[in-house]
Amino acid sequence: MDQNGNAGSSFWQGKSVMVTGVGGFVATHLAADLADRGASVVGVLRDSRGSRRLRLFGISERIDVVHGSIEDYALIERAFNEYEVEYCFHLAAQAIVGIANRAPMSTFESNIRGTWTLMEAARHNPLLKGVVMASSDKVYGDHNVLPYTEDSPLLAKYPYDASKLCAEVLARSYAATFDLPVGVVRCANIYGGGDLNWSRVIPGTIRSMLKDEAPVIRSDGTLERDYMYVTDAVSAYVTLAENLGRDEVRGEAFNFGWGRGYSVLEIVETVLKQGGSSLRPRVLGQNKGEINRQWLDSAKANRILEWSPAVALDEGVRRSIRWYKAYLSGSQDAAKKLAAAV
């Protein structure tokens, strides 16, 4: 389904598509969407945890899976060749800021080495028509002037942020040097059913609320972020890929978000309100290694790609609460049905 709830166009029908990190939250939604559009999807998957998410979303039998690390050049080259990949969505990454701050080496290995490995294999694939790479709004770093535009300086300095900036520079270098058809996605914070990282504010707050426990805010609650529902993120990836044949798109980075920031405390209060809860959060005040304020200007994506987000925060939170209620109740069948309808 597209961002407006309509069946996808015929663009993807019969195309061979690779999704790296396919067991991740956004990648699972993306793989399911592409399969719905008629694509033949192969995912690259490292850990068994991702397999569980594929089963939860009911797509294990709908896609092929190559098991291994994104840093393994021989494995990635084989997958490109044997599955005759035409489009690749590169989402494999260590994406948790706290983990990157505690132990950055594994983040650098996955996010930086994994990216140059994929780009090198991609440039030797004669069938390839496009690579869409997941960067992050974190590459912009701290700015006094918001929202970020694509012309804003890239000031990343913390480990996760720096890893995504390095990966993006590598990807765009392959586009400039080898004419590799690459597009870069810089998304706002993505949320929705299927995100089982409870350290993130929306799933963590929903779980606490459903257990009738006070939600925990690790920061002081003032950090501001742009939040985007997962189906809008999927539409961003798909729309960018469909436009990679255009000169004004190849090698470019695009922002995707709502263009306004919400504090962590506002997000927690929104979840509690939408869930009809009177709980109050417990604030720890641990602001370390994180950007204070960030949100994105998506005018370039709107102008060139005709993309805009469709699911407002209140509606996205309501959908998320429904999904987590089904999941946490142990009703796996209900969670699958909701996952297919997010």
Catalogue the active-site residues. 160
Residue 51: which H helix or E strand, with range?
helix 48-56
Cα-based angle 297, 111, 32 (whole degrees, multiple of 5): 70
Cα(269)–Cα(290) distance, integer angstroms? 21
Cα(119)–Cα(175) distance, integer angstroms? 9
Pairing status of strand 16-20 against strand 87-90: parallel
Q: Contact, 42 vs 90, CB < 8 A?
A: no
Cα(214)–Cα(282) distance, integer angstroms? 6
Q: Which amino acid is it at 170?
A: L
Q: Contact, 175 vs 122, CB < 8 A?
A: no
Q: Three-state SS for 199?
A: coil
Cα(167)–Cα(112) distance, integer angstroms? 5
Q: Contact, 236 vs 307, CB < 8 A?
A: yes
